[in-house]
Structure 1
Amino acid sequence: MDGKLLDRIRGARRIAVLTGAGISTASGIPDYRGPEGIWTRTPSAVHAFTLENFMADAAVRREFWRTYAGHAAWRAGPNAAHRALAELDGTGVAVRVLTQNVDGLHQRAGLAARKVLELHGTMHTTRCTGCAAAFPSADVLARVEAGDDDPSCPRCGGILRLGVVLFGQMLDGEVLGHARTIAAASGLFLAIGSSLQVEPAASLCAVAARAGATLVIVNRDPTPYDEDADFVLRNDIEAVVPELCAAVNG
């Protein structure tokens, strides 16, 4: 690993980490835009992940629930990269994860829920679009697998929606504001496994860089923020993240 990079990150005490789908591919969860990504293999799937279409068309909702009922994320576990970040936090370094993922693997790796901001929501909770009641997604998916392919709210009959941000939906303003505060206060900002093409989450890189943080991007492919980064790594994420975490503590 580059000696200049090691010198810059050694001893960092406040670390913000933006994670995207690429950190979870080693756990068996496909990304979205890679060669085997969800949108790459099935471009029409984007239609089912658009809020307006989901709310207006029962057929779209059925496609959405079918997609998620068999999603690999339900069976996946955290990998070495998730565990390394949690272990780094356990050494006394202040680690805050700002994730675009909805799989909950950072928490399962051992990071406290309060240290993980789920920018795009979570797949583990389902909410009613009518009365806002919340239900475990596992219970809703059990209904789907039993034949209820467009499940409605058992309390008010409203449309149920997985607790994830869909295309055409705004991010929670409070969550985004908190994420910007964390990014601006970090001394080291790691962007791991994100294409950095989805805004406003990607702009957290610029927030951190403007505030003087060392910006390190770890991603297989080029990103729009590579020119803003102090260091860009194309290494395998599951291998390099533990190395970066070890380097922080010397």
Structure 2
Amino acid sequence: MPTTLDLAHLLSSTSHEDFSGRRALSDVSLSVIKARRIVVVSGAGISCSSGIPDFRSPQGLYSLVKAKYPDQVVSGKELFSSSLFLNPSTSSIFYTFIAELSLQCQAAQPTKTHHFIARLETKGKLLRSYTQNVDGLERRLGLESGGRGKGLKKKETKNVELHGDLGRVRCVVCWKDYETREEWVKMFRDGDAPDCPTCQDRCEERISRNARLTPIGTLRPSIVLYDEPHPLGDDIGQLQTYDMSRSPDLLLIMGTSLKVHGLKRLVKEFAKVVHGRNGKVIFINQTAPSKEWQGIIDVHIQGETDKWVQKVEEEWKKIRPGDWEMQMNLDGEVV
């Protein structure tokens, strides 16, 4: 099994018995400092301190949905299932839930972990970031995330949104993609889906020349649900293949439980390439990895990602202060 380091305990301990653990923690930081081509894979855990409420607490999003639809029983997994669209009542629940999530994401702020990923990019260390999150917090920090009608680019795209983009909507008929509008979010919050403007324009144009009417699709959030393909799935596959050919030397997995099949495959393929270059696979998460990850994950940092990245940056500044002086010159401010 991977070596497990209890982050909170080691950060607070001065005991001689914990010396080897503290040394191992510093060795992980050193791996980040020395790495030149880092791949980051992240999940919901890196956004916990952003202000986005969790799903299950009394003030969580599930509770808000249940209050609006007391007669409906929908599990958390079902809220992200494509089968929701087979039933008008469950699709209304989905729209309400996603609207609440969208509003919370708009009000949220990027975390220390998001800033850390962005710094890896400004320092020329980030090969690519792959995230399961749909909150768009990486975009806020200037990490080019592609999509939005422009596809994904091998060199320009720095962050790949594996589960889509909550800031966009798309038509279920013509697949036209739009930036989310405030009035549409309000309709979603009421459980309704807006009509697609492109379909409407096409239908009106056909009416003007007495042609047969075409269907008008509705808009849905442009996120990827269970059991449905990613609209940019082929592009993501090509980026992953390209990134593996660029010899990544460190894989950081942060804030994800590694339960989704597609993500597990992506991590295992990157880990194989990283190990081929004698690099490390580091897993930073509150919960431990399962036995499935034996021989794949080298070190498990058990704790909050924000606290770990703060530790890494503190040691980075001590070991290579010149890296941070250059950051001041480039940005014109102290980070």
* Residue among 85, 103, 109 paired with 1:77: 109
SS in 2 for 1:158: coil
**Residue 21 of structure 1 contacts residue 31 of structure 1 at CA under 8 Å; is this kept in 2?**
no
**Residue 119 of structure 1 contacts residue 176 of structure 1 at CA under 8 Å; is this kept in 2?**
no
What is the rounded CA distance, in whole Å, between the counterparts of 1:28 and 1:180 in structure 2? 35
1:35-184 mapped onto 2 (5 Å cutoff): 44-54=75-85, 56-71=86-101, 72-113=104-145, 114-139=157-182, 140-145=184-189, 149-156=192-199, 157-171=216-230, 172-182=233-243
Q: CA RMSD in A?
A: 2.9
The equivalent residue for 1:198 is: 260
CA offset at residue 180 of structure 1?
A: 4.7
CA offset at residue 64 of structure 1?
A: 1.0
CA offset at residue 62 of structure 1?
A: 1.1
CA offset at residue 33 of structure 1?
A: 8.7
What is the rounded CA distance, in whole Å, between the counterparts of 1:222 and 1:37 in structure 2? 24
CA offset at residue 47 of structure 1?
A: 2.4
* Larger helix proportion of the pair: 2
**Residue 126 of structure 1 contacts residue 163 of structure 1 at CA under 8 Å; is this kept in 2?**
yes
* Residue among 253, 271, 291 paired with 1:209: 271
SS in 2 for 1:241: helix
What is the rounded CA distance, in whole Å, between the counterparts of 1:160 and 1:219 in structure 2? 35
CA offset at residue 66 of structure 1?
A: 0.8
What is the rounded CA distance, in whole Å, between the counterparts of 1:189 and 1:231 in structure 2? 11
The one-letter code sitting in structure 2 at the alignment partner of 1:199 is H
What is the rounded CA distance, in whole Å, between the counterparts of 1:155 and 1:233 in structure 2? 49
What is the rounded CA distance, in whole Å, between the counterparts of 1:59 and 1:176 in structure 2? 35
Q: How many residues align structurally?
A: 248
SS in 2 for 1:221: coil
What is the rounded CA distance, in whole Å, between the counterparts of 1:247 and 1:208 in structure 2? 26
CA offset at residue 209 of structure 1?
A: 2.0
What is the rounded CA distance, in whole Å, between the counterparts of 2:63 and 2:306 in structure 1? 23
Query: Structure 2: 5+ residue runs without aligned partners?
Result: 1-21, 67-73, 146-156, 200-215, 320-335
What is the rounded CA distance, in whole Å, between the counterparts of 1:188 and 1:216 in structure 2? 8
What is the rounded CA distance, in whole Å, between the counterparts of 1:129 and 1:87 in structure 2? 37
**Residue 48 of structure 1 contacts residue 64 of structure 1 at CA under 8 Å; is this kept in 2?**
yes
SS in 2 for 1:155: helix
Look at both structures and tell me which one has the larger radius of gyration over its CA atoms: 2
The percent identity for this pair of structures is 28
SS in 2 for 1:24: helix
**Residue 39 of structure 1 contacts residue 46 of structure 1 at CA under 8 Å; is this kept in 2?**
no
The equivalent residue for 2:301 is: 233
- Alpha-carbon distance change, 137 to 112 in structure 1, aligned in 2, over 3 angstroms: same
The one-letter code sitting in structure 2 at the alignment partner of 1:240 is W
TM-score by length of 2: 0.66
* Residue among 250, 268, 287 paired with 1:221: 287
CA offset at residue 242 of structure 1?
A: 3.4
- Alpha-carbon distance change, 37 to 14 in structure 1, aligned in 2, over 3 angstroms: farther
